[in-house]
Amino acid sequence: MQLMAYVDWDWAMNTEKRTSMMGMVLMYGGGVIGYKSKFQSIMAHSSTEAEFIVMCDTAKMILFFRSLLHYIGIEQSDATILFDDNTEALLMANAQQPTCRTRHMDIKHFTLLD
């Protein structure tokens, strides 16, 4: 029994503000224990940035649910798997550092990777 997360997005779906729709779901033991779907509060400049923002928001939710599971005595010794379909966002997250083209995201979103 392992906590797992799935994320997806729709870049610039909101035609008025050009914000992206994001969605995330957390699963444990084959069932959904948390989910969220909303428009992002900031305008992403690329699909990679939109997806990376969703991944960071999901990471916050993962930390909350891991602490909740710990509190009720269910330890999560393995890392939580975060499933995503954007190769560039995954490469950026796995590199644990922004590129020269994504430095503007450094302070807000890369703090979770430390």
Give the chain's domains with CATH numbers. Answer: 4-113 (3.30.420)
Q: Specify the pLDDT at position 81.
A: 87
Dist CA 73 CA 2 (whole Å) = 14
Q: Please, where are the H alpha helices in the chain? A: 47-71, 87-95, 106-109
Mean pLDDT, rounded, for 57-77? 91
pLDDT for 60: 87
Confidence check: pLDDT of 108 > 60: no
* CA dihedral sign, ordered 62, 64, 65, 67: positive
Phi, psi of 39, rounded to the nearest 5 degrees? -80, 140
Ranges 46-50, 55-59, 68-72, 83-87: which has the least confidence = 46-50
pLDDT at 8 over 70: yes
How many CB atoms sit inside 10 A of residue 54's CB?
Answer: 25
Tell me which range, 10-19, 44-53, 74-83, is most confidently predicted by mean pLDDT. 74-83
> Looking at per-residue confidence, does 11 or 36 come out higher?
36
With a cut of 90, say whether residue 38 has pLDDT above it: no
Q: Has residue 90 got a pLDDT over 80?
A: no
